[in-house]
Amino acid sequence: MAGKQARTHAKHPAKKKAAASPARGGKTGAPQTRGKRAVSPTHGKKAPARAQSHAGSRGAENTHAPNARGSRTAPVRYGGAQTRKRAYGQEKHSAQSAPSRPRSQQRSLCPVSDRCGACQHIDEPYNLQLRRKDKAISALFGEAGLLDDAVSVRPILGMDDPFHYRDKVISPFVPGHRISGRPADHRRADAPHDGRGPHGRHPSAGSRADRAARAGRYEILTGMYEAHSHTVVPTDGCLIENERATQVIEAIRRLMPRFGIEPYREDDNTGFLRHAVVRCAHESGEVLVTLVTNGDEFPASRAFCRELTRRCPFVTTVVQNVNTRQTNVILGERERRLYGPGFILDALCGLTFRISSQSFYQVNARQTEVLYRMAVDLASLDGTQDVIDAYCGTGTIGLVAASMGARSVVGVDAVESAIEDARENARHNGVENARFVADDAGAFMRREAAAGNACDVAFLDPPRSGSDVAFLDALCTLAPQRVVYISCNPKTQVRDIAYLKARGYRLDIVQPVDMFPHTDHIECVARLSRAGDKRLERSGGEGPACASGDQPAVARDERPTSARGERFTCASEGESGQRGCDERGDRK
């Protein structure tokens, strides 16, 4: 959700006290006491104070990290790609983005919020954020001509505690400035860039002492990419990320010099550790750590995992993912288990889901349960409905519907690996009234209609680009009585609803959900029903709605030719499935 990306930390152990000093000039940091909470001057809730961080000056393409003395800054230049650069909360786009309000002279909850750009409204009282999002949804649907006295636009469903809700954290590891007294390796301008280190060394080559010496020449930075730039912003005390995930990232950073692990340099494809992806199960408490490396060989990996789990005993499994390509895609295709079972389990709506490094799973589990229960409630299932879950991904919504009142559920998704996960989740939970098909959802529905098969309810949860015309026409052909449309982009949702309305559907209910507080993102659930709410007669697979001569609100040639062309944001991380958008990161 969006999105959605990285974390940076550039403090020197010898100068912790100096590094903790708040920045001057009207942008002071939050109190530097980890584990305690400070009351925001503009917010009634309590929020965790920021940990020690640096807010170095910035240039057009450079970031400046404090040097070993903590008094000067050294430029660090990165090459990066837009997929990884996006900050959390910017991978999804709301119905209406509010303009940035001017900064006051009072203390901000986040000392780097003006640079990071992830939480555009971190200093805005949460009740005002919700009010603004309510107005945005009403304005969007109203301007599209979709609202009348029969349509209920419900108040947005917010969070009780809108902090530390991101249960998935992605952090790169990049070299900062050179530490004084350590010579730097140099490459000739004509040296081949073959993924090896300076002088032809493989990223993991040499003795542990040699690797440790190379790794210790530069500070290791983690953090979040500044919006629309190649620079990294220190966010070691992020207010929206899971605190355990933050602890794991810091532990990895501190262990890297000890084990001779060099951070990745994307400009010349050298170094070893590219990213860490930390996934925390909200209900079970299990934690999966995926280490993305620039090579297969991981010397002393068992010792590394042993020390990591000693420092972070809540970590239940560690996986190595190998990505040697010069690409903006975070995850590679090859993996091996280093510690534990290689996956974690989490509970959602009374069901248990298996989550691996490649699985897609919503990053805000607390609000995901709110979202799914609301969607199933709007479907009005009473045990007599046959349901299709289009863009089903790993089957989360379909399985919840199957366990909460559907007579039968068919989940359809074009990504075979996602369907395999969905089938495994069904077996694991003992759900027998759901099956999953690897196919194009539109083609599947056309075949079902041609065969005279009925569908009472359809769940739609397309990518941020929305559905395409072929899919919507297939939906009209099958003509389910009710359609529950879940969207991470209300703009494309409104476009698609206008198309369906012109073909015999009416909009009943609009229910926004705040999946990503402090950002502009809005998740929205809408229920549509057939005019008259009666089961249509089907003849030859063609429903009366598709015979309608009305034109859609948006011309066909202005609509995307295929929803497959833009997957959810986390597909950039190598994740399976078509469902959703992370603010960017993630959905479902």
DSSP secondary structure string, 447-467? Answer: HHHHTT---SEEEE---TT--
CA dihedral over 82, 84, 87, 88, signed as positive or negative: positive
3-state SS, residue 4: coil
Beta strand spans in 207-312 (E): 218-221, 224-225, 232-233, 273-280, 287-293
Enumerate residues 6+ apart whose C-beta is below 8 A from 319: 288, 289, 290, 291, 335, 336, 337, 338, 342, 356, 357
Q: How many CB atoms lie within 10 A of CB 209?
A: 9
HEC profile of 153-178 = ECCCECCCCCCCCECEEEEECEEEEE
Please report, for residues 278, 284, 367, 421, the alpha-carbon distance to residue 428 in angstroms, rounded to integers and kept in the order given.
Answer: 24, 16, 23, 10
Q: Which of 116, 119, 305, 488 is catalytic?
A: 488
CA dihedral over 48, 49, 53, 56, signed as positive or negative: positive
Spatial separation of the C-alpha atoms in residues 419 and 438, rounded to whole Å: 6
119 an active-site residue?
A: no
Angle between helices 126-143 and 490-501 (to 10 degrees): 30
Residue with tokens 């959802």: 441
Rg (CA), the chain: 25
Enumerate residues 6+ apart whose C-beta is below 8 A from 551: 502
Distance of CA 43 to the CA centre of its chain: 26
Catalytic site positions: 488
